[in-house]
Every structure is written in structure tokens, then in C-alpha cells.
Amino acid sequence: MITRPSTTTELKELLIEIFVNRQNKVTKVSDESVLNAIFYGIAKVAQKAEKDIAITESRLFPDNASGEILDQVASTFGISPRFGASGSSTYVRVFADPGTQYTIAGHTFSSTSGIQFQVEEDTTVDTTGFAYIKVRSVDTGAKTNVNAISINTVSPEPTGHRSVTNEYAAFGGRDAEQDDVFRQRIKDNPNVVAQRTVANLVEVFRGINNDVLDVIREGISTDGKLILSVVSQNGVDFTSTELDGLLEGVVNFLSLTELRQTGDNFSVQIKNVEWFPIDVDFRLDIFNNFNPDDVRKDIQTQFSKQLDFRFWKSTDRVEWDDLLGIVKNVNGVRFVPDQFFSPRVDISVPNTMLPRFRSFIMRDLQGNIISDSQGILSPVFYPVQ
């Protein structure tokens, strides 16, 4: 903020200093005097003027605005209003007999709070006896953000199914677009006129589907198509219908070369971004007066902030010592042995992918799985080593 509103005392002292320096009749202004009251009244009016100036500046500069004022900034610059609610997503780990299938149309997972999740891609359990399945919430809003170890049922239950749980919390659900994302969208709005750039395509895609967060150029496919990966605001993969809608809507913004058709397809391919899974496994010692469920939630909250894909840059890396430091500094954690922390090396994420936590296993110092208070997370399905 350019203008910093001053306190009444600061303004009053400044007025008194100017007054004393400009005449020689009065040398002192005591408390509770007539002059002191006059200067106090002037300072109060000046403070209100500074406050109004600061509010006006916040409407001109998005970095200084929030809430309703940020909405006014968008309206002033002709930018689309704050986006509405969206759902959450996460990975669930299913244990089942080899060959057990979980399909998009046939199976729905549910949490203990009643939030339902759809399968994003048909999955078949292989010979290992378990699989990770990416799911998205059916409803929208912040209520769809559920804690870890809370998704524990599937309906209908396929033959061979044994158990399911989400080792990591479901996140991305929101009631309305958050200020930080909305502010960045306002600042990026001039990219609409920056023709022939990826930033321009981002703004175009957002005009078609307001769940689009970013676009990544992956290069050229083997059949000569330009590959564009789209990233959603909440980490949910777009359906084939939504991807087709993006392709149809962007036609008017492509060049003649990109509009060249091969059969019934354009020479541009729009696909979902590929996620780079991050699997975490560690041991720790928790103080007896702390609930392991609360510790698990706090760690995952800090992890999500550390690796927020919305602000990820292609030059960033997953620093394993940063993750270790987060676990060590969470309230309730007494000790974390470094030698059992996984990953133990920094992870470089490919430029065309984004990182996302998939597996989260928390053990005691002896290597036993720390179960949740409801007993849903069964150590039977996890090896000690």
C-alpha cells in the first residue's frame, strides 16, 4: 500500500510541530488545552482522509485489495467476477484381489461425513493387491474437503474388494474463488491481448471454463499435433466432454496452421495435466497428550501449503529436507528420525507435470502404522518395512 494511515497521535504531534515553528507567541501546547483539542480534531479528520485515500488505492492496485474491494477492482477493469464453488479431489488406496475393477460409471466412494467421490479413471487392481485411484467429489464447496482416513466405503462394493482409505486429505474444494487466486487472475488479465502466447490461451480457456487454472505446452505429438495440458483450479481432471468444449471454444483464437484439420480432428490436442505422485513414509514419536489424528491433519495441511500446485514453477523441486522440517516442527511431535524418512532425496518434477501427494504413511518409532482413532486405517494391509 502506497499510503500508510498514521495514528491520531502522530498527526497531532506533526501539526503541533508545524504550528510552533511558524509563530513565536505559543511555545507549548499542554494536554487538555484548547489548542490540543483543536489539533486533535484536525488530526482525526486527516486520519479519515488518509483512510479514504488508502481504500481508493486498494481499488486501483489489486495487491492491496481483498474481499469485496477486490471484487470492485475486477468490476472496474472489466474482469469476470469471482468464480463460484468447486469440488475437491484426492487419491484413495484400495486393497482388493488382483483383477478387481473400479469404474467411473459403476463405483462411488463415500467419506464418514457423507461426501461422495467419483472415480476419475477406470482402474484394475494388479498382482500387488492394491491400487491408488484418483477421485473427485460429487458436490462442490469447502464442505467437500475431508480429512485423511475418512473415505472408507465404496458402493456398490465390487467382488474382491477388501478395504479403501484416503491416506491424504481431499482438498481443492471451495465456496468461492480465494483472494490470492482471484488477485493473480486480475493481474494476469492483460494477457488477453498478448496474442500468440500461452498466457493468452490461459485467459481464453478461463473464459470458456472458469475452472481452468493454467495451460502447459507439452510440445508436438507423433502425429504432428500441438499438445496443450490444462490444469484445473482444484486439481480435478476435466472430463472428455469438458476437454471437447475447450477445444471447440478456442477455435476462434487459433492460427490457420493450428486450425489445419487432419480428418475430423484439429492439429491441437487438449488433455489433462499429468500429476507427479509424491509418496511419503516416515516414523515419529508423538507426545502422549496429543491426538495422532490432529498431528496427521496438521502435517498434511503444511505439506499442501509447501507443494501448492497452483503456484508451482517448472524450476521448483520437491525438497525432502523441507518436508522433514515440517514434520519436526508440528505441535505434538517429539522426535523424527531422519534415516526412516522417505523420500530422502530431492525430487525433480518434469516440466510438463505437477506434483501431488498420493501416499502418506505415518509410523511409530518401531515402524508400526499409527492407526486413526476410529480404527479405519488397518495396519494389516501395510508391511513394516
Residue 305 lies in a domain: yes
Q: Across all residues in the chain, what is the average pLDDT?
A: 83
Q: Are residues 267 and 282 in the same domain?
A: no
Nearest to residue 292, comparing CAs of 162, 147, 173?
147
Q: For the segment 124-134, what is each residue's pLDDT rounded down to a tens digit?
A: 998 888 899 99
Instruction: Write out the residue range of the structural domain in which residue 294 sits.
Output: 274-381
Tell which of 113, 146, 165 closes a domain: 165
Give 16 or 381, the one with higher predicted confidence: 16
- The distance from CA 327 to its chain's CA centroid, rounded to whole angstroms, is 20
pLDDT for position 26: 82
In a domain, 84, yes or no: no
Whether residue 247 sits in one domain with residue 201: yes
- Among candidate residues 272, 303, 336, the one where a domain is terminated: 272
pLDDT one-digit tens code per residue, 87-120: 899 999 999 999 999 999 889 999 988 999 999 9
Task: Tell me the pLDDT tens digit for each residue of 133-181.
Answer: 999 999 988 899 998 888 989 999 999 998 898 989 998 888 877 788 7
Q: Which amino acid is at 183?
A: R
Q: What is the CATH number of the domain that holds 214?
A: 3.30.300
Q: Which residue has the higher pLDDT, 304 or 260?
A: 304
Does 331 fall in a domain?
yes
Q: Which residue has the higher pLDDT, 239 or 80?
A: 239
Overall number of domains in the chain: 4
Q: Is the pLDDT of residue 256 over 70?
A: no
pLDDT in tens, 181-190: 777 777 776 6
For residue 255, the model assigns a pLDDT of 62
Q: Are residues 268 and 204 in the same domain?
A: yes
Tell me if 250 is assigned to some domain.
yes
Kindly state whether residues 301 and 242 are assigned to the same domain: no
Give 369-373's long-range contacts (Cβ < 8 A, gap of 24+).
370/286, 370/292, 370/296, 371/292, 372/149, 372/292, 372/293, 372/296, 373/291, 373/292, 373/293
Position with higher pLDDT, 224 vs 110: 110
* All three cell numbers of 368: 508400526
Residue 7 clears pLDDT 80, i.e. is over it = yes
170 with 89: CB under 8 angstroms?
A: yes
Q: What is residue 283's predicted lDDT score, i.e. its pLDDT? A: 93
Task: Give pTM, 2 decimals.
Answer: 0.67
Residues 244 and 301 in one domain: no
Tell me, yes or no, whether 253 and 334 share the same domain.
Answer: no
What per-residue confidence (pLDDT) applies to 265? 57
Considering the domain boundaries, does residue 332 fall inside one? yes
Tell me: do 104 and 147 sit in the same domain: yes
User: Is pLDDT above 90 for 30?
Assistant: no
Whether 77 maps to a domain, the answer reads no
Looking at the domain assignment, is residue 2 inside a domain? Answer: no
Per-residue confidence (pLDDT) for residue 54, from 0 to 100: 77
* Of 271, 299, 306, 317, residue with least CA distance to 362: 299
- Model confidence at 261, pLDDT cuts 50, 70, 90, reads low
**Do residue 369 and residue 289 come from a single domain?**
yes
- Are residues 46 and 18 part of one domain? yes
CB atoms under 10 Å from CB of 238, counted, come to 21
- Are residues 265 and 282 both part of a single domain? no
State the pLDDT confidence band at 385, using cuts at 50, 70 and 90. Answer: very low
pLDDT (mean) for 185-213: 72
Q: Are residues 216 and 283 in the same domain?
A: no
Helix spans in 110-197 (H): 179-187
pLDDT at 195 over 60: no
Task: Compare 16 and 374 and report the one with higher pLDDT.
Answer: 16
Does 371 lie in the same domain as 296?
yes
DSSP letter at 86 equals B
Instruction: Classify residue 102: in a domain, yes or no.
Output: yes
Residue 381's pLDDT band (boundaries 50, 70, 90)? very low
